[in-house]
Amino acid sequence: MIRTMLAGKVHRATVTEANVDYEGSITIDADLMDASGILPYEMVHLLDITNGARLETYAIAGERGSGDVCVNGAAGLLVRDRDLVIIMHYVQVTDEQEACDIKPKVVRVDGKNRIVSTSDKIEPNSYY
């Protein structure tokens, strides 16, 4: 059996740009990618807290320390500048014990997409 497990996420990031004319993807500050474990060109799920849109695309590393979270291509019609989003990526495992031992890298950010905290736990009923 293959299980798909959450490997990491950037929680409550603010979209800094939505560029419909750019070739598809999401550009993410390289510091946020490193902290959450997202690799360049890795598939990510994007959940828009502001409007409920959900989509998948791939990540492109943005300028380190810029706070950039730019939604590119057709996704820019679903996710707009200043929306709050969650960016998630996953890992697939076949070993039951490995699945049970997964500890996702959770990155919480402020309104300028600066890292506020990192954790390997997702707290129920937590704002951040």
pLDDT bin (cut points 50, 70, 90) of residue 126 is: low
Q: Residue 59's pLDDT is what?
A: 98
CA of residue 16 relative to chain centroid, distance:
14
Domain membership of residue 89 (yes or no) is yes
Domain membership of residue 119 (yes or no) is no
Domain membership of residue 118 (yes or no) is no
Q: Which of these is catalytic: 25, 36, 41, 126?
A: 25
SS3 of the chain: the string is CCEEEEEEEEEEEECCEEECCCCCEEEEEHHHHHHHCCCCCCEEEEEECCCCCEEEEEEEEECCCCCCEEEEHHHHHCCCCCCEEEEEEEEEECCHHHHHCCCCEEEEECCCCCEEEEECCCCCCCCC
Range of the domain at 95: 3-110
Q: Is the pTM of this model over 0.85?
A: yes
Q: Which of these is catalytic: 22, 58, 66, 119?
A: 58
Has 119 been annotated as catalytic?
A: no
pLDDT bin (cut points 50, 70, 90) of residue 127 is: low
The number of folded domains in the chain is 1
Q: pLDDT digit string (tens) for 24-41?
A: 799 999 999 999 999 999
**32: CATH:** 2.40.40.20
Q: Residue 128's pLDDT is what?
A: 53
**Structure tokens of 59?**
């990540």
Domain membership of residue 37 (yes or no) is yes
Domain membership of residue 115 (yes or no) is no
pLDDT bin (cut points 50, 70, 90) of residue 123 is: confident
Domain membership of residue 72 (yes or no) is yes
Has 41 been annotated as catalytic?
A: no
